[in-house]
Structure 1
Amino acid sequence: MLSKKTQYAFKALMYLAEKKDEGPVLIAEISKKKKIPLKFLENILLELRKGGVLDSKKGKGGGYFFAVPPSTVYLAKIMRMMEGPIALLPCVSLNFYERCKNCDESFCGLNRVMSDVRDASLGILEKRTVADIAGI
């Protein structure tokens, strides 16, 4: 299940994608239009900026905007930035692998099933972009 943080990140990114040709967008506007708590949104947008997805401009006419085209921002990247691993078990994560406690991975049927789930999810999330979900 996606966390509220990730859901809000996607909502904000979709809004920014729709407004991409209009210049920087104020945080307050995104918060109001998408019904995202302002303080929560500030932290999300800051993470997206640090991750190279967004950029910002201060002062009059300032706000947030895409640092790269929305068509190059894959959903898997955003999910990893917001939540960490996409895999449901740490022992099958590609980027955040951790051995499960008290488990022998060579005999774990759950491990094999969750690897398939991870691969199926990534097959979609690594091909779809913010532009896709924004319908632009």
Structure 2
Amino acid sequence: MISQKAQYALRALIELAKAPAGEARQIGEIADAQGIPKKFLEQILLDLKHQGIVLSKRGKAGGYLLLRPADNISFGEVLRIVDGPLAPLPCLSRIAYRRCDGCADDSACEIRRVFARVAEASRAVLDAATIADALVDDGMLRRSAGA
């Protein structure tokens, strides 16, 4: 399962993607449109800003906007930023590998072999699905089916 914070991050990015190019959206607008608590959203957008996903603008017409096109921001990237590794087991993580408790040999672990397939399939879908896909009816389903 993904965290509530990750769901909010994805919803905020989808809301930003709906804005006309170059037009910033204020936190209050995003929060109201997506039903996200404003204080929580502030922290999420700050994290996404530090990771180069969004840009903040000051002033009367200020707010947040996407730093990159929506079709260049994948669900997998956002989930890794917010929730950390996507792997279901620590021994399958590409960015935070560690041996599972009680496991003597990764290569002989029967559980790891099955979850390795799950991890690869999940990564493939999440890294292929973009914020832009979420704006298109069944976009993620069509794109995933073709993969």
Tell whether the structures are fold-level matches, with TM greater than 0.5.
yes
- C-alpha distance in structure 2 between counterparts of 1:76 and 1:114, whole Å: 17
Corresponding residue SS for 2:96: coil
Query: Hey, what does 1:7 align to over in structure 2?
Result: 7
Question: What amino acid sits opposite 1:12 in the alignment?
Answer: A
Question: Normalising by the residue count of structure 1, what TM-score does the alignment of the two structures yield?
Answer: 0.95
Question: What amino acid sits opposite 1:21 in the alignment?
Answer: A
User: Using CA pairs below 8 Å that are at least 6 residues apart, which structure has the higher relative contact order?
Assistant: 1
Q: For this pair of structures, how many residues does the alignment match?
A: 136
Query: Hey, what does 1:52 align to over in structure 2?
Result: 52
> Cα RMSD (Å) of the superposition?
1.3
Query: Hey, what does 2:145 align to over in structure 1?
Result: none
Query: Hey, what does 1:34 align to over in structure 2?
Result: 34
Unaligned runs of 5+ in 1: none
Question: Normalising by the residue count of structure 2, what TM-score does the alignment of the two structures yield?
Answer: 0.88
- C-alpha distance in structure 1 between counterparts of 2:11 and 2:117, whole Å: 28
On the 8 A contact 2:22/2:65 being kept in 1, the answer is no
Q: Which runs of 4+ in 1 moved over 3 A?
A: none
Unaligned runs of 5+ in 2: 140-147
- C-alpha distance in structure 2 between counterparts of 1:32 and 1:121, whole Å: 31
Corresponding residue SS for 1:52: coil
Corresponding residue SS for 2:98: coil
Identity of aligned residues (%): 40
Q: Deviations over 1:89-124 (max 9, x none)?
A: 100111211111221223211111111101001111
